[in-house]
Structures are given as C-alpha cells and as structure tokens.
A and B are shown apart, each in its own frame.
Chain A
Amino acid sequence: MRAATWTGVNEVSVETVPDPQLLNDHDVIVKVGKTTSCGSDLHLIGGYIPFMRAGDVLGHEFMGEVVEVGRGVRDRKVGDRVVVNSFIACGNCWYCKQELYSLCDNGNPNPGITEGLWGQSPGGCFGYSHAVGGFAGSHAEFVRVPYADVGSFVIPEEVSDLRALFASDAVATGWMGAELAGTKPGDTVAVWGAGGVGQMAARAAMLLGAEKVVVIDRLPERLAQVREHVGAEVIDYSTTDVLAELREWTGGRGPDVCIEAVGMEAHSTGAAGVYDQVKQQLRLQTDRPTAAREAIMACRKGGSVFVLGVFAAAVDKFPLGALMNKGLTLRGAQVHGQRFMPRILEHMSRGELVTEHLATHVMPLEQAPRGYQLFKDKEDGCVRAVFEP
C-alpha cells in the first residue's frame, strides 16, 4: 500500500509499504477514508521528539471503513464507517475504567521509554513515535486499529466523512480541555491557539455554557474562522497586549478557565520569544512554553488552566509562584477521546459542532509532502491539510 512516512528531520515522503495485519484478537483493519495533518505532527517532523525512525508511517487523526475484524472484536463489523480515536486504550485497566483513556496501562508496548522520560507511561498513539508504541499511522491506505471495540466509533449516517474526521482528535482534545478544566455556565474562557484543537476547545466551552469565550492567535485567516464558524471573540497577540486585553475583557478578574492549545513550538513576539527559541535550539530546554506561561499569568485567582498542546519534557521560567499563590488548578492530558466521542458525534449530527472549515486543503495522499509544507509554513491559509488515500 502507499503511505506517507517520516524520512528525516523536516522530510516527509510517500512510499510503498507492506499492508498492515491483524496482530491481536481485538484488532480491526480500517481502509482509511480521510486522514489529517495535526499540529502535533510538526513536533515529530521537526525532530523535536527524537523517537522517530526513518520510514515510520505518520498520522493519528482519521476515519474510514472497517475491512477486516479480529476474532475477539464484538461491536464492529466489516463495512462499518468509523472514526477512530488517536490514542490506543484497552478499556479494561483502572485508568480506562476511570475514563482516562490516554493513560491506559496496556496501550503502549514500549513503556520503558516514557517511564524514563516522565516516571509513568501513558497509552499508545497511532503514528506518533516509538515512545508511544511505534504503531504505524493513518496516512496510509489501511491502518491496523488495536482494541477496536474501545477506540473506534460508528459514524451516524447524517454526519459527513469530513466532519466526523475531526472527532478523532481535534474536537475530542478540545472538548476534553474545556470539560476537564471545569468550564461551567457563566464562565469566561480564554483559549491560546486558533488551530483545529483551539477552535474546538472554544466551541466546546460554548456548548458547555461558557458566557464569553475568546481565542488568541496571530494568523488572520484562523482568527476569521473563529469568528465565523465558532462564534467566539478573538485577540491578535501580534498587535495586542494579551494580558491587558484579558483583564479589561473580564472586569479585571482574568478568565475563569484558560486553555493552552499551542504546544512546544509556541511563537511569541519580543524578547521572550527570542529567549525561548535560543534555549530550545541549544537544547537547554526541550519546549517553548510561551502560551502556557501566559495562561497561568492571565488566569483569575482560583481559576483553572488546562494544557492541551503537546510538550516533551522540560521548560524554563515556568511561573510556579503564580500557580501556587493564585491558587490555580493546572491540568493537562493527551486525549481521552473515547470518553467524549459519542457525545461529540451527537453534537455533530445536530449541526452544533461543525468542522469542515478546518479542512482548508484536501488532497490525495500522494501530495502529503506538499500538504505538510503548506501546513507547517501556514501558506495559503492552511489550517489543516487532509489526505485522501
């Protein structure tokens, strides 16, 4: 089959690779219909997560059709149109029973790497390096889906492929941030990052009853999408003092909930941005946490900060004093998508969650290298490059 692979730092190719096989009883094979680039892929492609082997198949956010079923699978059958969560979880361990699916004890066959990095191992993830399992990704004609009864969801008839695609990760991640940060009716919510995840976090906050929601970014086309498709307010950080604006916007209190949807390669203006770039390039810190710092400083006393963006290891100048003295709750997670996807698909089928606008560039899989270039450089208004194998 054909697949888009990582072939070196800032290199993506399309190659012919072996077809996947059923390896466990709870596996299915999915014929991929649509699979999308994600901002977190850029950390892999740029070499910031040094556990990729040349030839690894990329992609973790996808939908398609079940074409083969393992003998232990109960709830999926050949022909099902499904969307699959990006994290691989068994459904039976204590973490899965608590609906903390991305923390699954049995989803990552390579726990030694992440236990060394973080003290504990999270679950596995499609196409996201050998640190989280080394599973082949979805930028391919076919993909093996372990624990398919737990991680795949039948798409309601009235939901289009393109809308359902983003339930796999962008919407599920955004929803998780808004809900687990404790968003409740009447809250003010600020979201850093107007990519797919940030936009969906804002939309989820609105559906959870937030009274005012604002999204912070610098790219005009993304801010325009937030206004038009999400219905939230926007702040352009390249022209606005974010902390001052947020104080004014919230009556001097600061947002009740602050959601970071940027991750380890945050851009920022001014000296702080230069400082973080230099330290990261010199490997004196692994991540650039500009948005996370700002979220902590902006948040109201006793408020909640949720980190959705992907971080690898250690950051510098982390405002722990503000966190402690303001009595904040700080939380983060990879996506517990299995917990939220049924509800998300219901909202999608009612037209309350629309995602089609995120797919600014839909193209054949063979054009994946060009798609990633557009996505990385944010050329031509690219928000997401979606591939059709």
Chain B
Amino acid sequence: MPLPEIVARATGLASGAGGKALARLQHVRLPGVGQASVTDDPRTAARRWRVVTVLTDPEQLATTTPGPLAAFGARLEVRVTPAPGDRGAELAARFRGPVGEEEIGDLRAALRESKALVEVGEVLRVDPQPHGHRPNTPQGAALEGMTEAAPKEGVL
C-alpha cells in the first residue's frame, strides 16, 4: 500500500479513535479523571437524570421547555425544580426508554444549549475559526475527533 494511503487510513481511524477515547474517558475509574458514570451499569446510567443549573426563574422555565429539549418530543422526561441559594432552576432530562451512548450525548449537548439560550440568548459558536495549515496527521485527526465529540461528552 502506498505511503499516502497508509497515512490517510491511519488518519481516518485516528479521528474516530479520538472521539471514542474522549467518550471512554468519562467511564474510566482513574484518580483525577472526571467521570459521568463509573460503577453504574449502562442501563442505570442511561436512566439517570442529566441536570444543568440555569440562572433563571424556575416557574418561567417550567412553562416553556427550551427548543433543544423540546425537539426530542415525547421521548424525553423533563423536570424543572428551584435550585438552592438563588442559583436559579435545575433543568433535568432523561429518556423514557432505553437508549445508547449516542442519544445520551445528544441530550448532553441539548441541555448545554438550552442553558445557554436561556441565560445568554444564543449558543456560543466556534466554527469557522481562522487557522493555518493543518497537516493530515493521525494525532491531528484524533484531536479533531475529540473536539467534534466534546460538546456531547463530559460528566453531564
């Protein structure tokens, strides 16, 4: 196989691996590593409420489900409760039925977007950003895979 093709294949694999590595990180029990679920079995983890605290009036938030969460329709349970200490509202959501990691990732992103829309009025964008030449390397592709997955990953 010619070298460029080998590099291209390695780069493609690395991009996927970067995203997966980030997803795995949230489930590895290592000191100093943030974890979404460590000892939960996947079914229990999938049933957990995913929660963000939004600095807004809880009663107002309870009357209007933010667009990114509303888009899931009846598949989602949504709960709004007052946060202690004038911290606003705890906006929680979970799927009614069994789901996989991908759907949970979509829910994480939707909760973060909902919070930003309520608090700021818009979701912060980062692309496109000015950048110089990006050589096609496996390390670069792994980081791009990781960055692409980052809005949907984390401890939420």
A247 to chain B, nearest CB (A): 33
Residues of A contacting B35 with CB < 8 Å? 119
Residues of B contacting A25 with CB < 8 Å? 121-122
Complex contact B120–A116 (CB within 8 A): no
Taking CB as reference atom, which chain B residue is nearest A5? B132
* Residue B144 CB within 8 A of the other chain: yes
Complex contact B134–A130 (CB within 8 A): no
Complex Cα spacing A313 to B88, Å: 31
Complex contact B87–A94 (CB within 8 A): yes
Complex contact A17–B34 (CB within 8 A): no
* Residue B130 CB within 8 A of the other chain: yes
Residues of A contacting B121 with CB < 8 Å? 25, 72
Complex contact B151–A53 (CB within 8 A): no
Complex contact A112–B151 (CB within 8 A): yes
Complex contact B120–A21 (CB within 8 A): no
Complex Cα spacing A18 to B129, Å: 8
- Would you give the 0/1 interface string for A303-325, flagging 1 where the beta carbon is closer than 8 Å to chain B? 00000000001100000000000
Residues of A contacting B133 with CB < 8 Å? 7, 15, 54-55
* Residue A268 CB within 8 A of the other chain: no
A184 to chain B, nearest CB (A): 27
* Residue A51 CB within 8 A of the other chain: yes
Most buried by B among A57, A90, A112, A133: A112
Complex contact A136–B129 (CB within 8 A): yes
Segment of B6-14, B25-33, B64-72, B93-101 in the binding face = B25-33
Taking residues whose C-beta sits less than 8 angstroms from the other chain, chain B's interface range is 35 or more
Residues of B contacting A112 with CB < 8 Å? 22, 26, 108, 149-154
Taking CB as reference atom, which chain B residue is nearest A97? B55
Complex contact A94–B155 (CB within 8 A): no
Taking CB as reference atom, which chain A residue is nearest B137? A54
Complex contact B132–A13 (CB within 8 A): yes
- Would you give the 0/1 interface string for B91-123, flagging 1 where the beta carbon is closer than 8 Å to chain A? 000000000000000001000100110011110
Residues of B contacting A97 with CB < 8 Å? 55
* Residue A250 CB within 8 A of the other chain: no
Residues of A contacting B108 with CB < 8 Å? 112
Complex contact B122–A111 (CB within 8 A): no
Complex contact B132–A130 (CB within 8 A): no
Most buried by B among A17, A110, A121, A136: A110
Contact among A1, A17, A90, A115 for B156, CB-based, below 8 A: A115
Taking CB as reference atom, which chain B residue is nearest A14? B132
Most buried by A among B26, B119, B121, B129: B129
Complex contact B131–A109 (CB within 8 A): no
Residues of B contacting A21 with CB < 8 Å? 128
Complex Cα spacing A313 to B53, Å: 26
Residues of A contacting B144 with CB < 8 Å? 53
Known: A55-B133, A56-B131. A116 touches B126 (CB 8 A): no
Complex contact B151–A26 (CB within 8 A): no
* Residue A107 CB within 8 A of the other chain: yes
What is the predominant secondary structure among interface residues of chain B facing chain A?
A: loop
Complex contact B122–A113 (CB within 8 A): no
Complex Cα spacing A113 to B25, Å: 9
- Would you give the 0/1 interface string for A44-73, flagging 1 where the beta carbon is closer than 8 Å to chain B? 000000111111110000000000000010
Contact among B132, B149, B150, B153 for A17, CB-based, below 8 A: B132
B106 to chain A, nearest CB (A): 13
Complex Cα spacing A72 to B123, Å: 13
Contact among A53, A72, A106, A147 for B134, CB-based, below 8 A: A53
Complex Cα spacing A81 to B52, Å: 37
Contact among B34, B88, B129 for A135, CB-based, below 8 A: B129
* Residue B147 CB within 8 A of the other chain: yes
Residues of A contacting B125 with CB < 8 Å? 23-24, 109
* Residue A20 CB within 8 A of the other chain: yes
Complex Cα spacing A51 to B21, Å: 13
Contact among B132, B150, B151 for A15, CB-based, below 8 A: B132
Complex contact A23–B25 (CB within 8 A): no
* Residue B135 CB within 8 A of the other chain: yes
* Residue A140 CB within 8 A of the other chain: yes
Complex Cα spacing A118 to B32, Å: 7
Complex Cα spacing A281 to B135, Å: 26
* Residue B124 CB within 8 A of the other chain: yes
Residues in chain B within 8 A of chain A (CB atoms) = 22, 25-26, 31-35, 52-53, 55, 87-88, 108, 112, 115-116, 119-122, 124-135, 137, 140, 143-144, 146-147, 149-156
Q: Can you pick out 17 interface pairs between chain A and chain B where the beta carbons lie within 8 Å of each other?
A: A17-B130, A53-B134, A53-B147, A55-B131, A55-B134, A56-B131, A90-B124, A97-B55, A106-B115, A106-B119, A115-B153, A115-B154, A115-B155, A117-B34, A119-B34, A120-B155, A135-B129
User: Which 9 A-B pairs give the minimum distances between C-beta atoms?
Assistant: A112-B153, A115-B154, A110-B150, A15-B132, A112-B150, A119-B34, A55-B132, A5-B132, A112-B154
Residues in chain A within 8 A of chain B (CB atoms) = 1, 3, 5, 7, 13, 15-21, 23-26, 50-57, 72, 88, 90, 92-94, 97, 105-107, 109-113, 115-121, 124, 130, 133-136, 140, 144, 146-147, 313-314
